[in-house]
Amino acid sequence: MKKIIIGLITFGALTFNLQAYDQSERIQDMQTMEASMAQIQKGILYNNKKMVLQGVANLKQASSKVEIAPKTDMDYSTNFAKNQASNIRKFADRVKENIKAGHKHGAAMNYTKVLDQCISCHNKIRKWN
C-alpha cells in the first residue's frame, strides 16, 4: 500500500512536471534561441547556407515552446508571447527563403526583425534590472 501511494505521488509529480513549462525550461529555450541566432549570423557571414538553415530550424523549434505564464499581467503576457513567437517563426522563414535564393541582405534584414521581437519582449516582459 505504501509503495502504491509513493508510486502515485511520484507519478503525479512527474505528470505535473511534464505539463508545466517552468522558468528553467524557459531559460533553456532562451539560450537555445540565442545560440540559433548566433548560428544564423555566422552562416550568413561565412556564406554557409546549411548553417543558416540549421539555425533557423533550431530557432523555430525553441520559439514554438516558449510560454509566459499568466501572472500579474494575466492574459496580456501570454497572448503577447504567442504573437512574438509566431512573428519569430514568420521572420525566420523569410531568413530561410532569402538565404536559399542567395539574398544575404534580405536574410540579414529578416534576422534583424527576429532580433526586434526578442528585444520587444525583453523590454515588456523580461524587465532586466
Interface contacts to ligand HEC, rule CB under 6 A: 23, 26-27, 30-31, 33-34, 37, 66, 68, 81, 84, 88, 114, 117-118, 121-122, 125-126
Closest by alpha carbon to 29, among 62, 77, 64, 55? Answer: 62
- 41 and 51 Cβ atoms separated by less than 8 Å: no
Q: Look up residue 2 and give its amino acid.
A: K
Cβ at position 55, least distance to ligand HEC in Å: 11
Looking at the Cβ atoms of 62 and 98, the one nearer to ligand HEC is 62
Q: Tell me the backbone φ, ψ of residue 124, rounded to 5 degrees.
A: -85, -50
Inter-CA distances, 99 with 32, 70, 73, 82, Å: 21, 37, 38, 26
Looking at the Cβ atoms of 9 and 127, the one nearer to ligand HEC is 127
Cβ at position 49, least distance to ligand HEC in Å: 20
Cβ at position 12, least distance to ligand HEC in Å: 25
